[in-house]
Structure 1
Amino acid sequence: MAMKILSVSNGVYKASYDNLGNEVHILLTPEILQDDAAGLIAAHLVAAPPAAVTAPPVSQRDAYRRSYCDCGDNLDHSDTDAATDRLRDAIARGGGTAYVPIGEGIYGTVDGVTAFICTPKKNTAVTPVDRATYDYALGFVSEKCGRYVPGTYVHGDLNGEKMNQNAAQEDMGYKNNKYGDAWVCEHAEEGRKDHC
Structure 2
Amino acid sequence: MIITWILHLILASSIATFQLPDGLANGLYRAYNNDQGEEIIQYLGDVNTTLPNTLEEQNYDIIHHASDSHGPERRDFKKRWQSKCGCGIHLDHGDTDRAVQGLKDSASRGGIIFDKPESAVFVWYNSVVAFVCWGPSWTFIRDIAQSCSFITKECDWYVAGSANYFWDGMVEGQFNDAMTPGDMGYMSNRATQICENE
Distance of aligned partners of 1:116 and 1:146 in 2 relative to their CA distance in 1, 3 Å threshold: same
**Alignment length (residue pairs):** 163
Matches of 2:154 and 2:170, distance apart in 1: 26
Q: Structure 2 stretches of 5 or more lacking a match?
A: 1-10, 12-16
Contact kept, 8 Å, 2:51 with 2:112, in 1: the verdict is no
Q: Is residue 124 of structure 2 the alignment partner of residue 109 of structure 1?
A: yes
| Residue 141 (structure 2) aligns with | 131
Alignment counterpart, residue 146 of structure 1, candidates 156, 165, 183: 156
Q: Normalised by the size of structure 1, how large is the TM-score?
A: 0.68
Q: Normalised by the size of structure 2, how large is the TM-score?
A: 0.67
Alignment counterpart, residue 111 of structure 2, candidates 97, 100, 105: 97
1:54, distance to aligned residue in structure 2 (A): 5.7
Secondary structure, aligned partner of 1:140: helix
Higher normalized contact order (CA 8 Å, seq sep 6+, divided by chain length) = 1
Distance of aligned partners of 1:133 and 1:4 in 2 relative to their CA distance in 1, 3 Å threshold: closer
Superposition CA RMSD, Å? 3.3
How does 1:13-92 map onto structure 2 within 5 Å?
Answer: 13-28=29-44, 33-35=52-54, 37=55, 48-50=67-69, 66-92=82-108
Distance of aligned partners of 1:24 and 1:162 in 2 relative to their CA distance in 1, 3 Å threshold: farther
Q: Larger C-alpha radius of gyration, 1 or 2? A: 2
Matches of 2:132 and 2:170, distance apart in 1: 21
Q: Structure 1 stretches of 5 or more lacking a match?
A: 56-63, 121-125, 191-196
How does 1:156-171 map onto structure 2 within 5 Å?
Answer: 156-157=166-167, 167-171=179-183
Higher helix fraction (1 or 2): 1
Higher strand fraction (1 or 2): 2
